[in-house]
Structures are given as structure tokens and as C-alpha cells.
Structure 1
Amino acid sequence: MVKKFSIILVILTLLFSSLIRTIEVSNNNFAFTSDQARDMLDIRHMVVSKIPKIVGPTTSINGVFLGPFWYYFNLPAFIIGHGNPATLVYWNIFCYQLTGFLIWLYFKKKNQTLAVVTSILFLLMPTGFSVTRYVWNANPMPMFTALFLLLVFDIIYKPSKIKKISLGIISGLFLQVEAAFAIIFLPFSLILLSKQKHKLNNIKHFLFGFLPTLIPQVIFELRHNFIMTKTFFNEFTGSSDMLGNNLSLITKITDRFLNFKNQLSGTLYLGTNLVLLLFVLAILFFIYQSKTNLKNTNKQANQLFLISFYFLITSALFYLIFPNKLKHWYLFGLSTPFVFIFASLFAQISKLKNKLPAILLIVLFSISLVNLIQQHTQIIKNEVFVKSTNPSNFANRLENIDIIYNSESYLIE
């Protein structure tokens, strides 16, 4: 009975969130700026010329390019949609929804409560809705981070050579999509693998998967006298001010705290202060639990909490080394470990004899759901059913394009 109810709940959430996401981008109601146009042109060049790309989009640092995986990730949608930008938007929505389903699929045999809550919170978090409203290389990081953390969980749960190689592969591929965030996957993975038995073999297997993903950019570097390496090194060491002036330690700590808090607020529709309070209580609860050895604890929830918490710590330490102010899109992926911590909290609290904490969490999640419905009802009412005045809106762009192309389709000759 519980399993059937869990399946129904996840399916309803999938349908509900899919409906909202689809309606909000319907009738070409999504952003199409120079970034999206650049990506479309590069992907089109691959399709028409049949020449593969060895570098991807440019970054905020002139002279530094991402890897090409972002282009190959969107290539199937581009071909299926005959170059229509809307197809890429729906493709990214599909992948996000699929990730939410995979979260449930992975945990369901380990713990039903953890599976359902983690999947639902991931599918319904504010950041998740925001990043699926348009296509940009920073936007898939919440779902890529989820896949990364699930594989980390599985390696701890049941380690194997192929899983460690796979961890290296996805760490390298995701690094090509948003290097400013996915770079954290590398030290986090190496620290994790060094803590397990046969640490040298673990690291060797990881690097066996990771290093080949760097080949396209190595080729580019060899052709261009290591321009990216030099530029990136100068920026990271503070020799360049392309991303702004170097911050003092106090300013840097303040900047990181505000950015982390901003990403935390994107996990539930409860307001920044309440979500921050809930996060602090979650940390305190797990500390208390570890000190008192509470009975009937959920091992899977504990493990997911620890993985997510240590990932946040690794991220915080890494960004303290980075000398410049953070761009908010660097941290889109942090919403995932925050959500996983809240899911772990609920799964753990649901095992307690005292059901009051679980009831309170259900009330909070219910309030978040009501706020979600109200907010997205307004978005649909004001931005979908009413013509957008935003010049970067693709529907508005089409009006200009139709004048030039005389309403021809996007068919690739």
C-alpha cells in the first residue's frame, strides 16, 4: 500500500511540475539572448559542416572557453527540432524531469520515504523551475549535480571499478558545462576516494575516466599556445582583474555567505529566513543524532546528509580561495545538496517515535506547495497569457526574424 501511494505521489508530482514547466515556456515564451544565439550557431555549424567542436561556449573570462559537451548534450534536440530553439528548451525540461524520476528510482529500494521526498523536493524547488525556463550552459548544473551525488552515494554504498571510472567521466564532462562550479567535483571526488580502501587504485580509476575528457581542450591549448591556461592562472591568482578587483577576506566571506544563502532560499517557497532557519535546525539535528546515537535512524538518510554537507563544505572552502566576487549562476548546482539535506532531515525525522517534528515539516512543505502554486499561477497569468514586453523574449524575436525570413521554417537544408 505504501509503495503504491509513493509511486502515485511521484507520478503526480512529475505530471504537475511538467505541466507548469511546459506551460511557462509555451508559445516561445523563453529568453533568447546572444548566449543562446551563440550556442545555436555553433551547434548548427557542427550539423551543417559535420566538423566536430573541440571547445564550447566562452566564459566570463575572455580567452577561456568551456569544453564542447554542452553542444553535444543539446545536439540530439537540435537535430530532432530541425534547429528550432524551442526544442532545446523542452529537451532540457525533459532531462530535468527525468533526473527527478531517477532520484526516486535509485532510492526506492533503499528507503521509500527518502526516495519520495528527495524526488519531490528536487522537482518542485524554485531554482529548478527557474533554470528550466530557458537554455543556458549554467542551468543544467542542479540536475548534473544530482547525478554526481547519486553516483558518489552509490560508490560509498557499493564501490566498484566501473563506478569510479564513471565518476571521473561525468566529473570531466560536467566540468565542460560550467567550470566555475563543476571544478568542485574534482577535489571532492579525490578526497572521497582517498578515504576509502585501496586509495591509489581508486584515484587511478577516477583519473582514467576524468583525463580523457580534457583531450578536446588540450588540443585547443596546443594549437593556441596555452592561452586558456595562462588566462585562467592569471585570473585565479589575482594577476588579472577581468572578473573585478580582488576581495579582502572579510568581503569575500560576506560575499560567499550571501551567495550561499541565496541558493539556499531557492530550495523551498518559504522565504529566505525560514529556509535558513530550517537548514540550521537540520544541521543541529544531525549533530545531535551523531552524539546521542538515536535508535531507529535511517542509514541512507544519514549517508545522503553527510555527502551533501561535505560537498557544501568543499564548495565553501574552494570559493574562499577564489579571489573575485562570485557570479550568482556559478552556484546553481548548490541547490541540489541543500535539497538533499532537507530530504534527509524528513526521512530521518519520520523514523522518530514523536511524530510532531514530522508533522511540522509536512506543514512547512505544504505551505511551500501552496506558495508555489500561487507564484506560478501569477507567472502564467502575467507572462504567458499576456504578451511579453521583454525584447529578449523569443516570441518577440520571432516577429523580427519573420520580417527577414518571410515566415520560413528553421529547416536545415
Structure 2
Amino acid sequence: MLNRKLVKDHFWIIAIASLGIYLRTHGAIENFLYSHDQDLLGWFVRDVVENRHLRLIGQETSQQGVFVGPLFYYLMIPFYLLFGMDPLGGLFGVIIIAAFTIFSLYFVVSKIFAKKSGLVISFLYSTSLYSILNDREVVPTQPTVLWSVWFFYSVWLVLKKKKNGFYIAAFLLGIAWNINLSLILFLPVFLLSWFLSKKKLEITTLTRSVILFIAVFLPFLFFEARHGFNMTKAVLFKTSSSEVIVQGSGGDFERVITLLSKNVANILGTLDLNLNHLYWLAFLLSILFYLFIKNIVGRKIFILLLVWVTIPVIFFSVNPIILSEYYLNGTTFIWFLLIALFIGNHKKIGFLFLIIFTVINIFRYINLPRNKSGYLYRKNLVGYIKKDSIVWGYPCIAISYITKPGYDFGYRYFYYLESLHVNKPISGSPVYTIVYPLRGDIDVDKTFGIIGLIYPDYSKYTKEGVLKSCSGEDSNLTDPMFGFTQ
């Protein structure tokens, strides 16, 4: 009886979340993007499970010497074990996180604004192709929106003079480096909300918040203490240097706005329209001011939202950090919130906007091209190499790659799963050559999507020669992996 009443009272959010989960699971395996990041995750899980090595850090980020925290990797371990150490466990894990994100959006926005707006934002997020694709990515930055919505909730609680806001913020800021270091940038938003609340901070609340922050931040502190605070030095050097590290890095206002506008266009589903992305950013910013003028959001919330979206622009415009779109994903929740509040407070035009948004995104979803170099194709390729090596009686093999630099990553965990002893081509072991992508000027013996395989020249290998080449260590297990530190 209670369960029936629970379902009845929450029918719409359950239906919306079910739709969101379906859109994320349907075709997820076929389009599972698998590359170096996913290989690193598998290597982390293997190191913890097989070697019993408790790790304090995850992989190295695009900033040399700066590592992401280990929380996401540890969260994925149960799912890997559930799937027999197959990377599909990670895909299942991030879909669970996505489901929790949808429910969190509903809860927080309903609590702060209105239930209607909560339903709208959860629906927008559930059906947005941008969100669907992001939620399928098995990477540490995937929970960014989940982090953002709960951080916004902590900001609102503090604004309402609720001490729980300090505890939630302390926890979230403590784990931020596990997800995306750029999330630390939103600390001023929290401090501003405290200032606007005009609440005197109690010593007890401050003490508990600091203790909680330190407790969840301990892996970082331990790692830094053991390594001479090299990561802290690397971060400070990158943010204080006036040198532009590479073409396309930060320190350029125009580039930051371009990437932010591209993210907004992606959220709206208008990325492919022949219109400057900047217009879509201006459109959503105008909605923010409109909501304030119409008193849909109050003055304090308006200020906090404006500061929230401004901070990353200012920071990355003056700092020469290698900048990617995901560094700006901390604003994603805000864009969805603005759209939801507008729709939720305008019945006719809001409903029309919702229909257009849904049609565009579902159309793009249905016509999404299949990823022909991802999980399935790489797994099948390595599985085929394993079977072929058994047929020819090879106890070990070598792998060479015909591809661009960096595109030879994303295979080593599959070699491990297949128990393949993989040497370098110079070892004298039979060489299987992977070609990616397929090229017209190179003949291959077998294809897996857009990945080609060239067989070894079987006639040149003798049993004795192969056995001799296999006498050394397994290079796949002993060679260093880029971005992975022991």
C-alpha cells in the first residue's frame, strides 16, 4: 500500500527517470567510447583488486604533474567485479550515477523553486543528447553535474541560514579534486551566499565543517606529503605562469567564450545549426536577466547565478591552462536550471519550447552515428588476436600500430583480460599490426569497424624463435602506462 502510494505521489519523476535511464542504456554498449581514459580506469581497478594496492590518486590530467583523485575509480570497482572485471562494469556504474543525478535535479530544484520546475529540469536533462553522451562517458568528470546540483543546494541552504549547507559544501569541496579540479573555482559562490545571508558563523559549525573537509581531502594530503607537494607546485606554476603552454590553451577570453558557447549550443541541441554559438550563450544569459526582472528568481539567487557562470570565464581567460570543454562543465547545471525556470513559469511558450527541445534531441539521438572504434570493436579485435595466436601455437605475440601518435592507446586492458603476453615488435615475437583508422593505401587482413588488423608473416617465425622471444617479461604488464603512476 505504501509502495503504491509512493509511486502515485512520485509518478512523473519516476517516469522521467525511467526515460532517462532507457535513453542512456539503449545502444550504450554499441556506442561505448573506449580509449586511453577507460584503459587507465581498468588498470587502476586491476592494481587495487589484483595487487591489493590502495591508491591515493587516479590518472594524470592534461596538466602535467596534476592528478585527479581516486574516488571515481574506487566507486567503479564493485561494478567491474560484478561484470567479471569487464569494462562494461564501468558503463553500468556511470549510468547509475546518471540516474541519481536525474533524481537529484528534481529534488533540489523542487525544494528551492517549485515541483514543476523540478520535473522540467529532470526531463530536460534526461532527454538532452548532450547529457546522454556525457553520462555514458566512463571518466572521472562524469559526475560533474551531480556535484554541481548539490553544491547549489548547499549554497541555498547557507542563504537560508541553515548550517547543514556548510557541511554539504565542506564534503563537496573536499571531493572536488576527484571529479574536476575546476570545481574548486565555485568556492567564492558559497562564500558570497554566506555573506548575503548575514549569518554569524558558529565556531562549532566551522570546526565540524573543517574536520569534514580534511577527512575527505586526506588522500590528497597524504599523496602530497609523500611526494613533496609536487602537485600543489604544478597547479600554482600553471596558474601563475604568463606563458601560453600550447596553442588552444586558456589565457584567451575569446577561446573561453567560444568553448562555453559551444557547450550551451550542445545543451540546447543546436550545435549543428548554421548559427554562431555565441548567440545561444547570449540567449541563455538574457533568460537569466529576464527571470530576475520578472521576479522569478530573487536578487540574491540572481547574483549567485551570475557569479557562478562568470567565475570560470574570468579564471580561464587570465590563466594559460590547457583548456578543454569539460573544464567549463561546472556551469552545465546552471544552463539547464535557467531553461527549466523559464519553461516552468510560462505555460504556453514554455510547453512549445519543451516540445521543440525534445524533438530536436530525440531526432539527434535516433540518428546518432555508431561508434565503430569503441569497446565492442577493440574487444573483438583483441579476442580475435588471442584465438589466432592459439591456433598458431604462439605463447606470446607482439603488437605494432599504424596510426597517429596517441591513437595507439586503449588496448592494453583488453590484452590483460585475454591473458595475452604482449611484447614489443623488436622482441622477435609474431607481430600483429593494428591499423587505425582504415586507410586506402594500406591493405589489411581483417577489419573491426574502422580498425584494421594485419596478420603476422607466419612463415618467418619458428617455434624455437618464438619460445625464445617469450622468455622475458610481459611488456603489457611491466611497461609504464602514460598517465598511470605506481
| TM-score interval for Structure 1 and Structure 2 normalised by the shorter chain | 0.7 to 0.9
Task: Report the AA paired with residue 309 of structure 2.
Answer: L
Give the aligned partner of residue 378 of structure 2: 397
Q: Deviations over 1:37-73 (max 9, x none)?
A: 0111112211222231111111112222122112122
- Whether contact under 8 Å (1:190, 1:203) holds in the other structure is no
Alpha-carbon offset, residue 228 of structure 1:
1.4
Give the aligned partner of residue 167 of structure 1: 169
Deviates more, 1:315-324 or 1:34-43: 315-324
- Whether contact under 8 Å (1:127, 1:332) holds in the other structure is no
Give the aligned partner of residue 328 of structure 2: 331
TM-score, normalised with respect to structure 2? 0.70
Q: SS of the residue aligned with 1:132?
A: helix
Distance in 2 separating the partners of 1:285 and 1:207: 38
Report 1:355-370 matches (<5 A).
Answer: 358-370=347-359
Q: SS of the residue aligned with 2:136?
A: coil
Deviates more, 1:316-325 or 1:58-67: 316-325
Give the aligned partner of residue 449 of structure 2: none
Q: SS of the residue aligned with 1:144?
A: helix
Distance in 2 separating the partners of 1:241 and 1:403: 45
Task: Report the AA paired with residue 253 of structure 1.
Answer: F
Alpha-carbon offset, residue 229 of structure 1:
2.0
Alpha-carbon offset, residue 131 of structure 1:
0.7
Pick from 289, 292, 295 the counterpart of residue 284 of structure 1: 289
Q: Deviations over 1:368-400 (max 9, x none)?
A: 111112111112xx41xxxx432xx11111122
The answer to whether 1:125 aligns with 2:128 is yes
Pick from 333, 339, 342 the counterpart of residue 339 of structure 2: 342
Q: SS of the residue aligned with 1:35?
A: helix
Deviates more, 1:192-201 or 1:311-320: 192-201
Gaps of 5+ in 1: 291-296, 351-357
Give the aligned partner of residue 402 of structure 2: none
- Whether contact under 8 Å (1:234, 1:240) holds in the other structure is no
Q: Deviations over 1:5-32 (max 9, x none)?
A: 99444333222222221113134x3111
Give the aligned partner of residue 188 of structure 1: 189
Distance in 2 separating the partners of 1:254 and 1:4: 48
Q: SS of the residue aligned with 2:354?
A: helix
- Whether contact under 8 Å (1:131, 1:140) holds in the other structure is no
Alpha-carbon offset, residue 327 of structure 1:
1.3
Alpha-carbon offset, residue 359 of structure 1:
1.3
User: Residues 341, 208 of structure 1: CA spacing in aligned structure 2 closer, same or farther, 3 A cutoff?
Assistant: farther
Q: SS of the residue aligned with 2:66?
A: coil
Pick from 362, 383, 387 the counterpart of residue 373 of structure 1: 362
User: Residues 52, 119 of structure 1: CA spacing in aligned structure 2 closer, same or farther, 3 A cutoff?
Assistant: same
Task: Report the AA paired with residue 194 of structure 2.
Answer: L
- Whether contact under 8 Å (1:266, 1:335) holds in the other structure is no
Report 1:259-278 matches (<5 A).
Answer: 259-270=259-270, 272=277, 275-276=280-281, 278=283
- Whether contact under 8 Å (2:192, 2:304) holds in the other structure is no
- Whether contact under 8 Å (2:250, 2:322) holds in the other structure is yes
The answer to whether 1:156 aligns with 2:159 is yes
Alpha-carbon offset, residue 33 of structure 1:
0.9
Percent of residue pairs bearing the same amino acid type: 18
Task: Report the AA paired with residue 50 of structure 2.
Answer: V
Alpha-carbon offset, residue 184 of structure 1:
1.5
User: Residues 364, 273 of structure 1: CA spacing in aligned structure 2 closer, same or farther, 3 A cutoff?
Assistant: farther
Give the aligned partner of residue 255 of structure 2: 255
Structure having the higher helix fraction is 1
Report 1:74-223 matches (<5 A).
Answer: 74-108=76-110, 111-157=114-160, 159-160=162-163, 162-179=164-181, 181-196=182-197, 197-199=199-201, 201=203, 204-223=207-226
Alpha-carbon offset, residue 284 of structure 1:
3.0
Distance in 1 separating the partners of 2:82 and 2:59: 22
- Whether contact under 8 Å (2:260, 2:281) holds in the other structure is no
Distance in 2 separating the partners of 1:245 and 1:268: 24
Distance in 2 separating the partners of 1:367 and 1:141: 26
Distance in 2 separating the partners of 1:95 and 1:115: 18
Distance in 2 separating the partners of 1:175 and 1:106: 23
Q: SS of the residue aligned with 1:37?
A: helix
Q: SS of the residue aligned with 1:103?
A: helix
- Whether contact under 8 Å (1:61, 1:242) holds in the other structure is no
Q: SS of the residue aligned with 1:184?
A: helix
User: Residues 377, 75 of structure 1: CA spacing in aligned structure 2 closer, same or farther, 3 A cutoff?
Assistant: same
Give the aligned partner of residue 294 of structure 1: none
Give the aligned partner of residue 293 of structure 1: none
Distance in 2 separating the partners of 1:240 and 1:83: 43
User: Residues 112, 229 of structure 1: CA spacing in aligned structure 2 closer, same or farther, 3 A cutoff?
Assistant: closer
Distance in 2 separating the partners of 1:72 and 1:240: 36
Give the aligned partner of residue 48 of structure 1: 50
- Whether contact under 8 Å (1:238, 1:323) holds in the other structure is yes
User: Residues 246, 336 of structure 1: CA spacing in aligned structure 2 closer, same or farther, 3 A cutoff?
Assistant: closer
Alpha-carbon offset, residue 159 of structure 1:
0.7
Deviates more, 1:219-228 or 1:32-41: 219-228
User: Residues 304, 12 of structure 1: CA spacing in aligned structure 2 closer, same or farther, 3 A cutoff?
Assistant: farther
Deviates more, 1:393-402 or 1:149-158: 149-158
Task: Report the AA paired with residue 69 of structure 1.
Answer: L
Structure having the higher strand fraction is 2
Q: SS of the residue aligned with 1:150?
A: helix
Distance in 2 separating the partners of 1:233 and 1:106: 34
Q: Count matched residues.
A: 380
Q: SS of the residue aligned with 1:183?
A: helix
- Whether contact under 8 Å (2:130, 2:266) holds in the other structure is yes
**What is the CA RMSD across the aligned residues, in angstroms?**
3.1
Task: Report the AA paired with residue 184 of structure 1.
Answer: L
Distance in 2 separating the partners of 1:200 and 1:244: 48
Task: Report the AA paired with residue 183 of structure 1.
Answer: I
- Whether contact under 8 Å (1:125, 1:269) holds in the other structure is yes
Distance in 1 separating the partners of 2:364 and 2:249: 38
Q: SS of the residue aligned with 1:114?
A: helix
Give the aligned partner of residue 427 of structure 2: none
The answer to whether 1:19 aligns with 2:22 is yes
User: Residues 19, 71 of structure 1: CA spacing in aligned structure 2 closer, same or farther, 3 A cutoff?
Assistant: same
- Whether contact under 8 Å (2:102, 2:126) holds in the other structure is yes
